[in-house]
Amino acid sequence: MPDINFPEAQPPLSYACGAYALTAALKAYVPVTTTPYPIKLKHLQMPTTEITINGTENNKDLADKIYQITGDLEISGPPTALVFSYKLAPNLSNSPSALAYVAKQYGRTVTVNVIKGFKSRSNMCQAVADDLLKKLPGEVLRCVPNATVNAPGGTGVSDGMPYTAPANDEVQLLCVMNSDHSMHWLARGANGFYDPGDASIASVWPAIAVNADSAMTMTGGYTFTGIWMVLK
């Protein structure tokens, strides 16, 4: 798998983590895109909103442009009763479908995975994944045009997939949960996990692992939601 070398952190108090994680993942590849510039990106909720990527953007400008497309998911309500809705508005969370769409425009092959056995809710990771699928019933169908989706209603394995490390030609985006139940995205490459919160690369594998019950534990206190994306 390629190394991730992305020095930028998301702006303070922003929800741009998914866009920064995706930009870090795209920048891990040489060339960054297999499709020619300019790349025209349209907001899935409001297709008349178009962003042009011309290939001369610096790291931060590129991530901020991508966030104008991927930041389409409003999450509201208390941690035990979160409500999700798609919108065109500033400072929203990043949906897997929007992230998959942008990655495909860069010529990447995208797979969206849900952890295997999520319906059993046998552990926290499976329960969180099951809850997210139920609260976002249309997300799988929004992903399908741009990705193979291993989840019910997708084009892959309906019961999900076991988590595995990226292959040699792959980079991953992982959806994790903070202690306050807010969502966060990380990117994983050969040299570790890139965290958009502070631009750190955690390369000490024992400090970040997926244990036997599929719950990710790490120094930063994140919990794996059982939802991740593979780019190749």
User: For residue range 4-49, what is the model confidence (pLDDT) as tens digits?
Assistant: 999 999 999 999 999 999 999 999 999 999 999 999 999 988 888 8
Tell me if 8 is assigned to some domain: no
Region 222-231: what's the mean pLDDT?
92
Q: Is residue 26 part of a domain?
A: yes
- Band (pLDDT 50/70/90 cuts) for residue 218 is low
Above 70 in pLDDT, residue 58?
yes
**Residue 149 or residue 203, greater confidence:** 149
Comparing CA positions, the residue from 134, 15, 149, 114 lying closest to residue 74 is 15
What is the number of domains present in the chain?
1
Residue 132, in any domain of the structure? yes
Give the rounded percent of residues in the chain with a pLDDT score beyond 90.
69
- Say how far apart CA 206 and CA 179 lie, in whole Å: 21
pLDDT tens digits for range 164-188: 889 999 999 999 988 777 899 999 9
Q: What is the pLDDT of residues 79-95, one digit of tens each?
A: 778 889 999 888 999 99
Does some domain include residue 5? no
Q: Report whether pLDDT(55) > 80.
A: yes
Lowest mean pLDDT among 19-28, 66-75, 206-215, 222-231: 206-215
How far is residue 108's CA from residue 85's CA, in Å, rounded to a whole number? 27
Please compute the mean of the pLDDT values over residues 200-216 and round it to a whole number: 55
Give the range of the structural domain holding residue 166, as residue numbers without chain letter. Answer: 17-231
* pLDDT confidence of residue 213: 44
6 is a domain residue = no
Q: Would residue 4 count as lying in a domain?
A: no
DSSP code per residue over 144-202: GGGSEEESTTSSS-TT-B------TT-EEEEEEE-TTS-EEEEEEETTEEEETTTTEEE
pLDDT reading at 207 higher than 50: no
104 falls within a domain: yes
> Who wins on pLDDT, 208 or 101?
101
Q: What is the rounded average pLDDT of the residues 124-138?
A: 90
